Amino acid sequence: MQNWKPGWPTKDEYDLAMMKWQTNLGDPALKSARLSMNMGTKPKHYERGGLYAIVYKIGGYQARCFCSDIAEQTDPPGDIVERYQKITRYIATQRAAVPALIETKLNLNGEGVYVSGRWWPVLKAEWLPNVTSLGSYIEQQHNSERVMRTLSDSWRTMVRQLEAAQIAHGDLDITNVLVQTSTGQPVLRLIDYDNMWTPELANYPQTECGHEAFQHPAFFYPVDKPLARNRPYNLEMDRFSALVIYLSLLALSIRGTLFAELGAREDQRLLFDRKDYDNPSIATSRIQQVQSRCGAQVTPFVNELVACLNERRMPRPLDEIATMPATATTTSISYPAAPPPQPPRMAVPTRSKIQVTGHPGATGAPANPSMPLAGYAQMAPQSRPAVPGVYAPPPPPPAPGMYQPPVSGYQVPGYPTPYGQTGPSVTKNPVGGVSTTAVVIVLVILIIIAACILISQVH
């Protein structure tokens, strides 16, 4: 980016100011506390900063400072201070209803931090002791059925409380959720509220799109692409992340070995990723593997995950999904109505129908899920793209009068055959692939030859 200049202090500039925190901080509680240092020479950074912030530990508090990223040439959102004024005010009214939230105060002007000749905002919050990221905690405890069951119940409770309080976090994943174990039981705590939604932020744009392994692929686009269909910035924006994480926790409470078997990573994903979301119904999808290995307890949640992916919508709330039938269903694809019949042409054998394994009802469907089925059906057979294992474009029709050998292949019900015929698919002729017409012609010729021989013998 040419001519870019940082709009906020950099991390190095904050570090330099924090070396004299007792002078450069305005908040009395922070000024009088001790800053955590690396070997006594440089302020220590903590991995709770989010996308564009740096976190320091000062006594029993965390001080979060927004900064420019020199390498990426990016700044925090221009309205970040205004957002946090609304967010911190709303959190203060909902802390009792949602214990996972951390009380946060936005220190402005003389209560912030003095850097490079002016005051900058500081987010001050309680420092949480005895915490680890959700991903790290699951990595340590995934083989404990009791712990995973408690954790899955806690997750569902937290998600219910958030929606009841009219709050969406905006970036639920396994790094922005902490597990606190001070009481011996896992307690969930939420951090990084940069993209949080509350009723006061209803008309604001969202600031980030989350992490791919926890976001619906139909809505996962960079937020700076104005023409892209981003996920809704409203109360429902957490539902896909909430479902993916809850289903993973529930499955691990049934079969802890899935953590290793499905390649979970404590800092990247749990049991699923984008490849599973793109093809949720095939047998090799981790979603279907979870269903087959964990049984009826996960079925309603697997069904809803597959349905919301195929229907390109956000899932229902977890409590509503839990009331749905625990019967495994197979999602089929609805094809458009068949095109009108074409004028009669030379009769040739039609291609036979097959059923694609793992895709009930999906014969001849385009491999690319983003291609509309209606557009696929309306394409001329010769111009339809090949779909490995499902559909191959037909050869060109023969010239008039030329013999056309029988052809085997695939026929989508109701779609035109390679030479313009329509209607239900038919199977190959059982007589070695030779058409009935050809057999009749041969028999008639043989009868005529035999009759001529008999007549010549009589005379």
- Convert the pLDDT of each residue in 425-451 to its tens digit: 333 344 444 456 777 787 888 888 877
| pLDDT above 50: residue 79 | yes
CATH number for the domain formed by residue range(s) 131-322: 1.10.510.10
Average pLDDT over residues 354-381: 39
Q: Please give the Cα distance from 238 to 68 (Å, whole number).
A: 27
- DSSP-derived secondary structure letter, 217: G
In the chain, what percentage of residues exceed pLDDT 90?
A: 58
Rg of the chain's alpha carbons, rounded to an integer? 32
Distance of CA 389 to the CA centre of its chain: 26
Any idea where the domains of the chain sit in the sequence?
A: 11-126, 131-322
- What pLDDT, on a 0 to 100 scale, did the predictor assign at position 447? 84
Give 40-58 pLDDT, tens digit per residue.
789 999 876 667 899 999 9
Nearest to 159 by CA among 235, 228, 83: 235
| pLDDT above 90: residue 151 | yes
- What pLDDT, on a 0 to 100 scale, did the predictor assign at position 7? 94
Binned at pLDDT 50, 70 and 90, residue 364 comes out as: very low
- Cα-based distances in Å from 116 to 13, 123, 192, 247, 433: 8, 19, 26, 48, 85
Percent of the chain that is helix, strand, coil (3-state, to 5): 35, 10, 55
**Predicted structure pTM score:** 0.70
- What pLDDT, on a 0 to 100 scale, did the predictor assign at position 185? 85
- What pLDDT, on a 0 to 100 scale, did the predictor assign at position 436? 67
Structure tokens at 39: 């070997």
- The 10 Å Cβ neighbour count of residue 41 is 7
Binned at pLDDT 50, 70 and 90, residue 192 comes out as: very high
Q: Strand, coil or helix: what is 327? A: coil
